[in-house]
């Protein structure tokens, strides 16, 4: 089967620049791809690279797609090398969509199933309440942006303010020292043992991926779960650390992790707890991530909130468009 490939670069500006321990992010850039076969069947995909997590750059993905030429085969997609995990995700999920016998209904996630990022600093104390009104129950805060003492005070104030039914996730993006990570986990253990407070779901990636043995000892020393994110950017890394006995959770960012089929194989083979997360895709990438998350949920019965980010985080109106409409815009 010969499939036509067309791709378009996109560029979106955040309403509020995104602050993480990796730096400040003003623009999200990526590549949307469209596959069309001789029967007129269409599938859309999205390459949303995140080089700070070890994915390919946008330029590499563009070069690769240009090299594939205007037409390709299913074997060409299967042969996309592992050094291009975001490209693997995009073309394989577009192909799955194209091959679906009936157009699958657009997967959606109720607000109560989403985890949303709160703004840095004191603004977090104001920001959660309107989101709570919209039905959001799980919130996330980035650590490693301000001094630790200030961040600990802020998290304690936030925990005191949030309703008991709320969930809070802390994400250090690998920026803490061992001492700081221990302090955070002690604080989390204390808060989790205090009645009538919100639930602290986990501390995400306290240390850099290179410190895996220390991460493992932290996960064993404290009650608060530790989640790996940067450490398991690809499915190869995820399976490897599972085999090394990682006792905690895994954050999965399907858009940069490789072929979706590989993740389905992993969860069929191993019993592991996955939390699905976005890399700020458009609705095209988000749809493929949601479809995969729904399959995992059905398989595992795991209902942990999805870290898919808020709609309308960007200055454009793309989140309101269908894939066809979005494609027309580019
Ligand atoms: Mg993270």
Q: What is the pTM of this model?
A: 0.93
Residue 101: band (very low, low, confident or very high) from pLDDT cuts 50, 70, 90: low
CA pair distance 203, 171, nearest whole angstrom: 6
Mean pLDDT of the region 35-64: 95
The Å distance, Cα 20 to ligand 1 centre, comes to: 9
Residue 242 has pLDDT above 70, yes or no: yes
Domains of the chain: 3-105+315-329 (3.30.390.10), 111-300 (3.20.20.120)
Query: Count H helices, E strands: the chain?
Result: 12, 11
Q: How confident is the model at residue 129 (pLDDT cuts 50, 70, 90)?
A: very high
C-alpha distances out from residue 122 to 21, 140, 142, 163, Å: 17, 14, 12, 18
CA of 315 from ligand 1 middle (Å) equals: 23
Q: Is pLDDT of 46 > 70? A: yes
Mean pLDDT calculated for residue range 168-177: 96
pLDDT over 90 at 204, yes or no:
yes
User: pLDDT (tens digit, 9 = 90+) per residue, 54-84?
Assistant: 899 999 999 999 999 899 999 999 999 999 9
Distance, CA 18 to ligand 1 centroid (Å)? 13
106 — pLDDT class (breaks 50, 70, 90): low
- Whole-number Å distance, alpha carbon 105 to ligand 1 midpoint, is 29
140 is a catalytic site residue: no
Both tokens assigned to 236: 């190869």
Tell me which residue of 214, 211, 253, 217 sits closest to 235, measured CA to CA: 253
pLDDT over threshold 70, residue 307: yes
Annotation marks residue 34 as catalytic: no
Specify the DSSP class assigned to residue 312. Answer: T
Q: Which of 34, 140, 142, 269 is catalytic?
A: 142
Assigned token pair, 278? 């976005």
Q: How far apart are the first and last CA of the chain?
A: 27
Per-residue pLDDT tens digits for 12-27 = 999 988 877 677 889 9
Distance separating alpha carbons of residues 2 and 73, to the nearest angstrom: 5
Ligand 1 centre from 299 Cα, in Å? Answer: 24
Share of the chain above pLDDT 70, in %: 97
Query: What pLDDT is attached to residue 313?
Result: 86
214 within 8 A of 234, measured Cβ to Cβ: no
């Amino acid at each position: 089967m010969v499939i036509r490939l067309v791709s378009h670069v996109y560029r979106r500006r955040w309403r509020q620049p995104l602050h993480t321990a990796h730096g400040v992010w003003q623009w999200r850039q990526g590549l949307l791809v469209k596959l069309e076969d001789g029967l007129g069947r269409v599938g859309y995909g999205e390459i949303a690279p995140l080089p700070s997590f070890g994915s390919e750059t946008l330029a590499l993905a563009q070069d690769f797609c240009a090299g594939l030429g205007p037409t390709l085969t299913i074997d060409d997609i299967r042969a996309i090398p592992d050094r291009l995990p975001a490209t693997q995700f995009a073309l394989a999920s577009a192909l799955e969509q194209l091959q679906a016998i009936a157009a699958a209904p657009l997967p959606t996630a109720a607000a109560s199933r989403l985890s949303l990022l709160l703004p840095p600093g004191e603004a977090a104390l104001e920001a959660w309440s309107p989101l709570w009104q919209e039905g959001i129950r799980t919130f996330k805060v980035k650590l490693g942006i301000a001094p630790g003492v200030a961040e600990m005070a802020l998290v304690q104030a936030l925990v005191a303010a949030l309703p008991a039914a709320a969930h809070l996730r802390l994400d250090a993006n690998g920026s803490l020292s061992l001492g700081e990570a221990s302090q955070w986990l002690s604080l989390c253990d204390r808060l989790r043992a205090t009645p009538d407070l919100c639930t602290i779901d986990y501390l995400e990636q306290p240390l850099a991926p290179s410190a895996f043995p220390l991460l493992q000892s932290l996960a064993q020393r404290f009650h608060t779960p530790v989640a790996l994110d940067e450490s398991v950017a690809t499915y190869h890394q995820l399976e490897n650390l599972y085999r090394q006995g990682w006792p905690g959770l895994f954050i999965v960012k399907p858009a940069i992790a490789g072929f979706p089929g590989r993740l389905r194989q992993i969860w069929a083979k191993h019993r592991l707890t996955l939390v699905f997360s976005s890399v700020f895709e458009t609705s095209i990438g988000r749809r493929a991530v949601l479809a995969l998350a729904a399959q995992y949920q059905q398989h595992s019965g795991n209902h942990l909130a999805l870290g898919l980010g808020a709609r309308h985080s960007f200055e454009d109106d793309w989140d309101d468009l269908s894939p066809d409409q979005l494609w027309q815009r580019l």
